[in-house]
Amino acid sequence: MAPQPQTQPQPQPQTGVGGGIELLESVLAQARAEDRAALVGYLPAGFPTVDGGIEACVALLESGCDVVEVGLPHSDPVLDGPVIQTADDIALRGGVRIADVVRTVREAHAATGKPVLCMTYWNPVDRYGVERFAAELAAAGGAGCILPDLPVEESEGWRKAAEQHGLATVFVVAPSSRDERLAKITAAGSGFVYAASLMGVTGTRESVGREAEELVARTRATTRLPVCVGLGVSDAVQAAEVAAFADGVIVGSAFVKRLLAHPDDLPSGLADVRTLAAELAAGVRRKATT
């Protein structure tokens, strides 16, 4: 199968068609109103187990993440680095299915009232059925989908289904994207733009690099959508660095690493991801200026 201490008032749960993208937009707008970047966490569904993965997503949202992306594990990922590949392999060997991904979205959203998206490669959605996937994700209270390998030129069918069901369609841009290409991608997307800060696969980095800031500036020149940066952030210092120029900071591999460090002790893993989420939440609020 191809396949985040909160001190602000908590949004009330919203479920069903029409609530997803509005909630996502509201949460991102609230972060901007507070003069900070949003914190977006990522974890694959089914890792370390389906129930454990749900607990981990809730832990992120209760501990500082404004939004969570639930990954649909894929047997042959093209964007994910070795850390997330390891987690995907654990989930796939555990028998995770699309129904488990939808359940993870539903329960994480219902428990916190916060936006939960699905991040997935296109093949599983295409095989499952575009309308069916969009309808089930919306019914679960999902905020939308991040589709890193779906070309804009081939996305009309998905975008129509997503719009019908009140879901955001988030596309990924990279430093290699030319300006005209950025304009085409951002015109087709909704919710926010996912800016991959470095060329290559996901994973924590020692530095997020100047390319990220340049990419955000170029992307903002084409759209009014929030621009959230991912691929590399692993600690509060880096989160503050990215928050100085981006609308959102996306963290995935660092959370997965914390869970992988406790393979037989889920409570300790959950405590570890809660600690990291709180540190990162403080980082995006610190918003480094250098």
Q: Return d(Cα 191, Cα 182) in angstroms, integer.
A: 16
Q: Return d(Cα 39, Cα 8) in angstroms, integer.
A: 13
Q: Any idea which residues carry the catalytic annotation?
A: 69, 80
| Structural tokens at position 50 | 């389906």
Report CA-CA distances (Å) from 140 to 39, 60, 109, 124, 283: 22, 19, 8, 18, 31
The secondary structure of residue 171, as a DSSP letter, is P
Under the phi-then-psi rule, with left for phi > 0, alpha for psi from -120 to 50, and beta for the rest, what region is 218? alpha
Q: Which residues contact 141 (CB under 8 A, 6 or more apart)?
A: 13, 14, 15, 16, 19, 20, 105, 106, 109, 110, 116
Which residues are bridge partners to 168 per DSSP?
144
Q: Return d(Cα 72, Cα 54) in angstroms, integer.
A: 13
Q: Return d(Cα 196, Cα 230) in angstroms, integer.
A: 5
Q: Return d(Cα 231, Cα 38) in angstroms, integer.
A: 15
